[in-house]
Structure 1
């Protein structure tokens, strides 16, 4: 039997990795590290660093890197993602069969936490259906939302009010979610907040590369800082070749 551990590793700060995650890493017979291309080499570099720092000297854990299949950006989004997940599951399955033909424990280092806008659990479901018995373990990690609110020193919600977590795509298509006082936005390709109605009294707390040495934070009334965020975001993306950012918007009562 294969045990697959999906191990949340936080957002880039090795100090955010939990003791449970360290134990799971050291139990693994095999750790699979995805490569996302040269532009995002920082991400696999961090995973390598974590393995170097956290695996015990006596560990016999094998570390295998693989190239992550690319998603077709020209097709319908949901159909393209479905095919992409199938391709990733096939790669996982081949590597597991190759390196653990008699079964064992596999570790996957998941950015942030497997529960929040991450598809590792969905991919693992496909792996279960196509590659025999797989027992999935989830080791929770610190999310980008937690780091964003910690670094800005703010609560996620306003008093007694709900929070909506959404994507940049949905914010552009549907606008401000009904009845939400606070909206956390992830997976924004850049500037989805510009689609909101002018005149809205909104405050934004934005962060990029959270938990990393190159972390960048901006906050203020959206009308005052939106241009600064877009300019800074473009410069950071140009400098590093990639960017991961997130922001919280709060509607001021009025």
Structure 2
């Protein structure tokens, strides 16, 4: 019997940890930390720092594991993601059983909130096919909350809906009809370039909630080049980037 906890840790700021998340960390027998390799190990380091601050006494055993690289061959996007999740689930299972051969409590520190645009819950579901798994999800502060806090704005206009979508969807399908406010996540290609900028404001933040947070806001037509240049600069400096933005029609 494996008790698997997906623990939302906010967006990299140790002060984002909720009391529930801290208690959950301390209750684990094993904590698994993914490592994306050289140049991208800042995320693993931040998870270790959170553990160092939040765990009392000796605490659970902490084990790092290498994440597989997603195949970017010609197969469909969905197939690539499914195969990648299968590979990650297999590594999870091997690491858990190697360190908890008689069962126990294993925890993963999930960036932001496990419920929102995160694959961790989908990967965890795959483990249920291998053994008896009891899954617990601890919510955390999301990057959307950190984005709106960074710009001191509400996510929606009064009484108006907003849509959360991805950069891929924005590029391929344009602005959805569902709302005049969009929150764009998972965008590595600055997909705001694919829309007509007239009458659109953008609120962009990278490393939301972290010490190196950086934000740009203004009319999309005026700040597009600045965002693209800033994004490239900070990604080169850190070796990775997490960014998110809000688009609003006026």
TM-score band (shorter)?
over 0.9
- Partner of 1:20 in structure 2? 20
Structure 2 unaligned spans of 5+: none
Normalised TM-score (structure 2):
0.97
- Partner of 2:244 in structure 1? 246
Instruction: Summarize deviations over 1:214-244 as a string: whole Å, max 9, x none.
Output: 1100000111111110111111111111111
Deviation at 1:197, TM superposition (A): 2.1
- Distance, in Å, in 1 between the alignment partners of 2:184 and 2:197 is 18
Deviation at 1:58, TM superposition (A): 4.0
Structure 1 unaligned spans of 5+: none
Secondary structure class of the residue paired with 2:23: helix
* Matching of residue 190 in structure 1 with residue 218 in structure 2: no
- Partner of 2:223 in structure 1? 225
- Partner of 2:149 in structure 1? 150
Q: Residues 210 and 216 of structure 1 are in contact (CA less than 8 Å); yes or no, is this contact kept in structure 2?
A: yes
Q: How many residues are aligned here?
A: 249
Normalised TM-score (structure 1):
0.96
- Partner of 2:201 in structure 1? 203
Instruction: Summarize deviations over 1:53-106 as a string: whole Å, max 9, x none.
Output: 1111142x1111000111111232110100010111111111111111111100
Deviation at 1:195, TM superposition (A): 0.4
Coordinate RMSD, CA, aligned: 0.9
Deviation at 1:35, TM superposition (A): 0.2
- Partner of 1:10 in structure 2? 10
Identify which range, 12-21 or 232-241, moves more after superposition. 232-241
- Distance, in Å, in 2 between the alignment partners of 1:212 and 1:39 is 18
Runs of 4+ in 1 over 4 A off after TM superposition: none
In structure 2, do the counterparts of structure 1 residues 182 and 198 end up closer, same or farther at CA, with 3 Å as the change threshold? closer
Secondary structure class of the residue paired with 2:84: helix
Deviation at 1:38, TM superposition (A): 1.4
Secondary structure class of the residue paired with 2:41: helix
- Partner of 1:123 in structure 2? 123
- Distance, in Å, in 1 between the alignment partners of 2:146 and 2:117 is 15
Instruction: Summarize deviations over 1:153-196 as a string: whole Å, max 9, x none.
Output: 00001111111111111100000011311000011113200100
